[in-house]
Amino acid sequence: MTELIGIPASGPGAVLYEIRLGDDVNIFVQCDDVPAQTALAALEGSPSQGIVEHVLQDRRLAQAQAQATGLADLALFSRPILTIQYATRDPKTRSGKTVHIDLPELSLVGDFTIQTVEIEEIDLHPGVYPQYRVTCSSVRFSFEDAVRRFQIEV
């Protein structure tokens, strides 16, 4: 017989039925970002505690993998996602590249990932590059990422 360590004999967290060898045991791992919770509580005001619960479910993960997945999700999504649009004539503009934006007067300083680029005004004037309309974001999140998240949560 294998002993479960850290499981109380009764009360909250206790196992209410016999677990046999080979039975599935689901673990629950909680990850918190206290600074993000504090910032959200300040934005929302009283009585908010700034806590937003989000559950990721993947029964294939061991505890260390579940912890790493939760921390990665927090790193991406615990802060507001900022999306910025601008136009440029820089021919090196490409999706996936990182751009640094430094506009402190707008409280907008940081590195952003280019999500999409639309090219306009091609050959409008000789010697002038086309205009690139750029959408960039504080988080890179593709269609593939959305599908992957959907598969994890189902």
- Tens-place pLDDT, residues 121-134: 998 889 999 999 99
Domains: count for the chain: 2
Peptide bond into 130 cis (omega under 30): no
- The answer to whether residue 145 is domain-embedded is no
Check whether residue 54 and residue 105 sit in a common domain. Answer: no
pLDDT of residue 22: 86
Check whether residue 60 and residue 16 sit in a common domain. Answer: yes
Q: Scan for tokens 């499981």, then name that residue.
A: 7
Cα–Cα distance for residue pair 40/28, rounded to 1 Å: 24
Check whether residue 1 and residue 61 sit in a common domain. Answer: yes
- The answer to whether residue 14 is domain-embedded is yes
Check whether residue 47 and residue 9 sit in a common domain. Answer: yes
Check whether residue 76 and residue 90 sit in a common domain. Answer: no
- 2 has pLDDT over 70: no
Burial class, 93, CB count within 10 angstroms (exposed 0-12 / middle 13-18 / buried 19+): buried
**Is the CB of residue 15 less than 8 Å from the CB of residue 4?**
yes
- The answer to whether residue 50 is domain-embedded is yes
The whole domain housing 66 covers 1-80
pLDDT category of residue 43 using cuts at 50, 70 and 90: confident
- The answer to whether residue 15 is domain-embedded is yes
Rounded to an integer, the average pLDDT of 14-38 is: 86
Check whether residue 52 and residue 13 sit in a common domain. Answer: yes
Long-range contacts of 27-31 (CB under 8 A, 24+ apart): 27/62, 27/63, 27/66, 29/63, 29/66, 29/67, 29/70, 30/70, 31/67, 31/70, 31/71, 31/73, 31/74
- Tens-place pLDDT, residues 56-99: 888 888 888 888 888 888 887 888 888 999 999 999 999 989 99
pLDDT of residue 153: 53
pTM of the model: 0.57
For the chain, the average pLDDT equals: 85
**Is the CB of residue 29 less than 8 Å from the CB of residue 67?**
yes
Check whether residue 87 and residue 74 sit in a common domain. Answer: no
Check whether residue 76 and residue 41 sit in a common domain. Answer: yes
Check whether residue 76 and residue 89 sit in a common domain. Answer: no
CB atoms within 10 A of CB 136: 23
